[in-house]
Amino acid sequence: MGVVSPFLRKVKTASGATAVQIAVKEGRRDKVIEHLGSAHTEAELAALMEIGRHRIAPDQLALDLTPTPPAVSGLLTASAPVGTDAVVESKRSGLLWDVLHEVYTRLGLGDATGGDRAFEQMVLARLIEPSSKAQVPRVLGDLGLEPVSVRTLFRSLGRCGQRGYREAISQALFEHVTASGGLALCLYDVTTLYFEAEREDDLRRVGYSKDRRVDPQVIVGLLVDRRGFPLRIGCWEGNKAETSTIIPIAEAFQAAHGIADLVVVADAGMLSATNLAALDEARLRFIIGAHQVRAPGDLEAYFHWAGDAFTDGQLIDTITPKRGSRSQRDISSRREPVWDPHTHPGSWRAVWAYSKKRAARDNQTLTAQANRARAVIAGEKHPKGTRFVTVHQGDQVLDEASIARARSLVGLKGYVTNIPARLMDAGEVVSSYHELWHVEASFRMSKHDLRARPVFHHTRDAIEAHLTVVMAALAVARYLQDTTGISIARIVRELRGLQEVTINLNGHHLAAAPRLTDTADDILTAMSTPPPAH
């Protein structure tokens, strides 16, 4: 006699429900082996049928409710008839956590922190929902995850400085960036981090604020690679000049990784004679944005020979004085000098680029400023220090000469560097500088997506630990963005709603996996391929 195979049997009950049973054939009769339950809806019926299939062939079928129409989501509503025991026992955003944890591990952050679970939870929770450290258990608990206690989190912050987490994380990030090749160029920028505090202290100082804030602040400097991936973060007193931060962070980075040849790119805010000399003395290459007021001196010979006419995309490769405005450029020669540190010891190399698009933007700005100056002179406005307003014999008058001079410079952007033309041509100098938007984007991520401010930490160690968390979170975010082409905010939004649900249906436990959206599928596909090289 052959083996009798069990099958699923559906029977209508007197109450109108559909009973689902596992049965076998015995002669002409069906023998019920197990009654699985009664379904009052199509969704419940689909669930019971799936349980039955799994009971019959447990090694062949994985329980997956989502492909079975109609949607099993009906099972999760309160519309089930009285007498149906369908209870959602748990929900977990496991896919979101698994993706974030995978990136955290790939970057070597787990190894760098000695497997500190609390630190990882602070970093990843910051990506999911930026909030205070005390809110981390709530954020993770809402996702069905198991958070550590608040006390454990703050103990981890204490370990952060004691065990050198930041240095180890920076090393891991450096190794990630250089795994596919050397690191030739870094971008640098600074921002301010404000604090909810009534009084200043040694670190938190009231200083210059672009937002005109009077809260105590610290200066935060961020060094990233040319794609915006973080490499090092630094913190200084709030009243420290931004220009004085680039040297210590660049030298520390160079020393930590034994880098001989490195190009540091920064905007015009970092431009000072002292800074450039110090960078050069440290054997660092630099590309720094130049203020437009330097153009008349740098381009005096060009204006003499060619006038103030430019073509779109034109580059002028010349020299600029290291200090003051006295140029080594020989105006009697039409040909621009080729900068060399030995033949031009008192100068740096300067590259000036002209753009029609920039010229249109500059002209629009100048027109607005000139109109504002006229309104001030007419008495319609009374601001102080208005551009193009000068005083002549006690009366405010329009400075027509300054307007004309400014008009002659529209569309020009300058770059100062100590890289000889034989190593980097003028076009590459300009394109390298334009990579700065990556570090600006990283700061926007840390300010807005990561909500790095305002913060409520009260000691330097706590502030430094907070910034280490921010840097690690930024690294995970940038990796995901580079790998998937999708912003971290959208990744979190797409994945957090895809929850694994455990349902108790008439005593039977169903583990329902989420149906992947197209975007979620794209994210997972991208994660399975190597990220772009840095």
Q: Locate 39 and state its tokens.
A: 């379904």
8 A C-beta contact, residue 480 and residue 519: no
Residue 513, in any domain of the structure: yes
Q: Which of the listed residues 374, 407, 440 is the one where a domain comes to its end?
A: 407
pLDDT of residue 368: 93
Q: Locate 200 and state its tokens.
A: 């200043």
pLDDT of residue 386: 82
Residue 58, in any domain of the structure: yes
Residue 479, in any domain of the structure: no
pLDDT of residue 210: 52
Residue 246, in any domain of the structure: no
Residue 353, in any domain of the structure: no
Region of residue 485 (phi > 0: left; psi between -120 and 50: alpha; otherwise: beta): left
Residue 38, in any domain of the structure: yes
pLDDT of residue 269: 81
> How long, in residues, is the chain?
534
Rounded-to-integer distance, Cα 131 and Cα 150, Å: 13
Rounded-to-integer distance, Cα 507 and Cα 431, Å: 65
324 HSE (CA, 13 A, CB side): 4
pLDDT of residue 477: 94
Residue 35, in any domain of the structure: yes
534 residues of the chain, pLDDT tens digit each: 455 788 899 988 877 788 888 888 888 888 888 888 777 777 778 777 877 777 776 544 333 333 333 333 333 333 333 344 567 778 889 999 999 999 999 999 999 999 999 999 999 999 998 888 888 999 999 999 999 999 999 999 999 999 999 999 999 999 999 987 777 789 998 887 766 544 544 554 544 445 545 456 788 889 999 888 999 999 888 777 777 888 899 889 988 998 878 899 998 887 788 889 988 988 889 999 999 989 999 999 999 999 988 999 999 999 999 987 777 888 899 999 999 999 999 999 999 999 999 999 999 999 999 999 999 888 887 777 788 888 888 888 899 999 999 999 999 999 999 999 999 999 999 999 998 887 777 766 655 544 444 455 567 888 899 999 999 999 999 999 999 999 999 999 999 988 888 877 767 777 777 788 899 999 999 998 666 666
Phi/psi at 39 (nearest 5 deg)? -105, 135
pLDDT of residue 195: 61
Q: Locate 244 and state its tokens.
A: 């004085």
For residue 405, give the H/E element and its range.
helix 400-407
| Cα distances (Å, whole numbers) of residue 310 to 296, 301, 409, 411 | 14, 14, 10, 9
CB atoms within 10 A of CB 498: 16
Residue 59, in any domain of the structure: yes
Phi/psi at 444 (nearest 5 deg)? -65, -40
Phi/psi at 458 (nearest 5 deg)? -120, -10
Rounded-to-integer distance, Cα 476 and Cα 482, Å: 10
Q: Which of the listed residues 407, 431, 463 is the one where a domain comes to its end?
A: 407
Structure letter (DSSP) for residue 221: E
Rounded-to-integer distance, Cα 441 and Cα 127, Å: 16
pLDDT of residue 84: 47
Task: Assign 481 to helix, strand or coil.
Answer: helix
The alpha carbon of 351 is separated from its chain's Cα centroid by a whole number of angstroms, namely 30
Residue 394 lies in domain = 359-407
8 A C-beta contact, residue 436 and residue 187: yes
Per DSSP bridges, beta strands 29-39 and 18-26 are antiparallel
pLDDT of residue 48: 79
Rounded-to-integer distance, Cα 458 and Cα 456, Å: 6
Total of domains in the chain: 2
